[in-house]
Structure 1
Amino acid sequence: MSDDHCVRCGACCAAFRVDFHRSELAGTTVGGVPDVMTVPVTGALVRMRGTDEGPPRCVALAGEIGVRAHCTIYSNRPSPCRDFAPYAALGIGEDACDRARVRHGLPPLQP
């Protein structure tokens, strides 16, 4: 597949909890995640707002899942998002990516 699923699918942004170290926040590093898009979890961890809701949907996700969705902070997204499904942009999914897509009625990615 030639489409870049990671900048248009959005299924993972509405399927998983996203926790990360507070050192990735904009208040602590240039180009970090905006503090207002997170909630504290512990003294060291924060979570993207909306990712622990039922159903989950990250506050940074805009658009319709599987149709035209995008991360509004893509260049400043936290490390769990950067590390998730590294080959999806090439059309190669992994188990977590495929589970998220299936939850939203989308087919798994094929190599």
Structure 2
Amino acid sequence: MSDNPCMRCGACCASFRVDFDRAELLSEGGSVPDGLTVPLTSRLVRLRGTDHQPPRCAALAGRVGERVSCGIHEWRPSPCREFGLRAPMGLGDEACNRARARHGLAPL
């Protein structure tokens, strides 16, 4: 298994809503599969599952805190790409640690 703590965590994918511009959709020339989103406005969409309470991205597989994977990692939207950039190195930021706490996990 990878030393990347994100591969065991997944808390961010099961804690926050993920909204982004429609331009990132596959149908608009981007890479995010349209079927994994729900429309919010004429310009914004949300990753399916993160519109629920509690949120959990539909692309997240596995059990948070044990072993997880992202079904669209290669095609994930910008908020996912930009979240917790140092977490793979074991350095969590405030939002990462908040998400981990929601799932009973220690901060990075």
TM-score w.r.t. length of structure 1: 0.92
Flag structure 1 segments of 5+ consecutive residues without an equivalent. Answer: none
Pick closer, same or farther for the CA change 1:38–1:105 going to 2, 3 Å: same
Distance (Å, rounded) in 2 between the aligned partners of 1:58 and 1:71: 9
2:79 alignment partner in structure 1: 80
- Corresponding position: 1:13 with 2:3: no
- CA RMSD in angstroms comes to 1.2
Distance (Å, rounded) in 1 between the aligned partners of 2:29 and 2:70: 19
Give the paired residue count: 107
* Percentage identity across paired residues of the two chains: 61
Per-residue deviation at 1:28?
1.7
C-alpha offsets along residues 66-87 of structure 1, whole Å, 9 cap, x if unaligned? Answer: 1011110001000000000100
Flag structure 2 segments of 5+ consecutive residues without an equivalent. Answer: none
Per-residue deviation at 1:9?
1.2
> Structure 1: which 4+ aligned runs deviate by more than 3 Å?
none
Distance (Å, rounded) in 1 between the aligned partners of 2:81 and 2:7: 12
Q: Is the 8 A contact 1:50 1:57 kept in 2?
A: yes
Q: Which has the higher helix share?
A: 2
